[in-house]
Amino acid sequence: MDCCINRQGLLLIVSGPAGSGKTTLCQRMLAEQAQIQRVITSTTRPPREGEKDGVDYHFFDRLTFESKIEAGDFLEYANVHTNLYGTLKSAVQGKLEVGVDLLLNIDVQGAETFRHAAQTDPSLKGRVTSVFIMPPHLDELEQRLRARGTDDEAEIARRMKVALGEIEHCDRYDYCLRSASRGEDFENLLAIYRAEKMRIRHD
């Protein structure tokens, strides 16, 4: 009897500043760990070319999104650059209940909301693990942002300011993964996931 294997679904939350490599890291986890599913979040922004409703995001008009807020359908939501983003309860709770492991790439505000919800929501209690991807140092983070070639100086300065604020939240996470190479980061995140699946919870 494999009593030491946690058969409950696990929600693995990953956060970090822009340029920390969290998106690439999450994409690799999903590509190489077939048992983990990505949480499909919701937004009011229009679909970009090639994006599909229910695959990339749940796309809603603002009125529909706001009506879902009123109905209490979201675990968390935020207004980002004039668009609303959020995580539907239906995208998380049912899957955890049947033992599906989920991965969510989310900002520090959303992660904080999930941590609070996990204290009282039976479907989340004992099932949420949060990981903060810490850049090796700020100079390297700035270099990574510049290497993208997609942002002007003002946007890079804004992102660096936001990053400083996000880093201040790192001690609220279960794990702080200091970024090294992409390979090392992946192995470390995978080790955290495996350890959490074997951890015996006494909730």
Given a contact cutoff of 8 angstroms between Cβ atoms, the answer to whether 28 and 10 are in contact is no
Given a contact cutoff of 8 angstroms between Cβ atoms, the answer to whether 66 and 26 are in contact is no
In the chain, the percentage of residues whose pLDDT exceeds 70 is 94
* 88-127: pLDDT as tens digits: 999 999 999 999 999 999 988 889 999 988 888 888 988 9
Rg of the chain over CA atoms, in angstroms?
17
* Structure-token pair, residue 37: 């599913």
Whether the pLDDT of residue 163 is over 60: the answer is yes
Determine the Cα angle at 108 with ends 50 and 191, to 5°.
Answer: 85
pLDDT-based confidence at residue 7 (cuts at 50, 70, 90) = low
* Structure-token pair, residue 68: 């879902």
* 43-80: pLDDT as tens digits: 999 998 999 999 999 999 999 999 999 999 999 998 87
Instruction: Tell me the CATH number for domain 1-39+99-203.
Output: 3.40.50.300
Cα–Cα distance for residue pair 164/162, rounded to 1 Å? 5
Q: Where, residue-wise, is CATH 3.30.63.10 in the chain?
A: 40-91
Cα–Cα distance for residue pair 153/142, rounded to 1 Å? 11
Predicted TM-score (pTM) of the model is 0.85
CATH class given for the domain over 40-91: alpha beta
Q: Where, residue-wise, is CATH 3.40.50.300 in the chain?
A: 1-39+99-203
